Amino acid sequence: MDDLPLQKIQISGPTLASLLQRFSSSPGDVDGLLFGRVTHIAATTFADDDPTTTVAASSSFDSPTLIATITSFICSNSNSTFYDSAGRLNLLSLRRICSDNQTLSLLGWFSGRRKTPLRPSMRESAVTSSLSSKIQFAFQVENSPKSYTLSPCVFLLLTTPFHDQLIHTHEYRAYQFRLSTEFFEPKTLDVVNIGPAFRGHYGAFCPNSQFPMLPCELRVSSSMAEDGNCESESLKSMKRVSEDQRVLDMYAEDFDVGRLNRLIGSDAANYTGELEDMYKKMLAKLEGLARLVEKSSARVLEQENHNMKLRCRVAGLE
């Protein structure tokens, strides 16, 4: 594992907004994990001097410019989810949470606590130092000419101002924990938003949910019916077709797999119309998923209220 400094930490606007919303709507303190990627930015140093004085270039090679980008997070509405009171990690639950996010690396974690000073606490220091020393969560730096691995060393701290203010409601600071010095180095947190000014930043972003690879040429199964030998083959092809349809149904609502071949090749005269149609169906699918999420959220809320009552009873607050 390499102990390299990050130049800065980026987070997308919606992710930060979502994080702040989870924090402000939770009744108590929250914590969770941060996912994303670390990319290497090639530092361009153009020197007019002769090539023998490329010492400067090689030194920039030794300390590469790394930028961490936070693209998603997992937040549990409580604290101490993957560690215990003494700050020791619960590796089992950590692995379980991380297994759902295979494409993204675990960059670090965050903690939100109301009306407290904006500096790491005793337990947060212990958890961060434990987390950043775990080799099994180390990940590769992307876009890098040399191979670098980093451990999850990013810590994002969210608090609220001590006295209720109308000017700002939240404060946050991002740190990188350096193993060599055991020091929390504050880093600037850049918020990347949509818009023409930020287009260049989106180079570090790539889709989490890519459209699946599906065949666009499909033989209609009825032409196979005459050839008895091809019965087993037609069964196989039917199975494959239904499999592909099932995959497509995950992304679009009621879009027949057979229409895909109208998007390319000789039948693609009406391809814009077909694409728009598919897009409409994809949006419909999203709407359906959103409704499902709403329903399950309501049930989660019910359960959480029930849990809260039990907790209050244990605390003797009734």
Catalog residues that contact other proteins under the rule CB under 8 A: 25-29, 78-80, 84-91, 113-117, 119-126, 129-130, 162, 182-184, 308, 311-312, 314-317
Minimal distance, residue 84 CB to other proteins, in Å: 6
- For other proteins, which is the closer residue by CB, 36 or 112? 112
Minimal distance, residue 171 CB to other proteins, in Å: 14
- For other proteins, which is the closer residue by CB, 26 or 39? 26
- For other proteins, which is the closer residue by CB, 126 or 263? 126
The strand order across the sheet containing 65-76 reads 183-187, 171-178, 154-159, 105-113, 30-41, 65-76, 8-12, 189-192
Minimal distance, residue 253 CB to other proteins, in Å: 38
* Residue 222 contacts residue 179 (beta carbons within 8 Å): no
Minimal distance, residue 29 CB to other proteins, in Å: 6
- For other proteins, which is the closer residue by CB, 119 or 306? 119
Minimal distance, residue 77 CB to other proteins, in Å: 10
Closest CA to 140 of 132, 151, 131, 129: 151
- For other proteins, which is the closer residue by CB, 78 or 149? 78
CA separation for the pair 105, 69 (Å, rounded)? 10
Which residues share a beta bridge with 156? 110, 174
Show the tokens assigned to 31: 């914590």
CA separation for the pair 187, 171 (Å, rounded)? 14
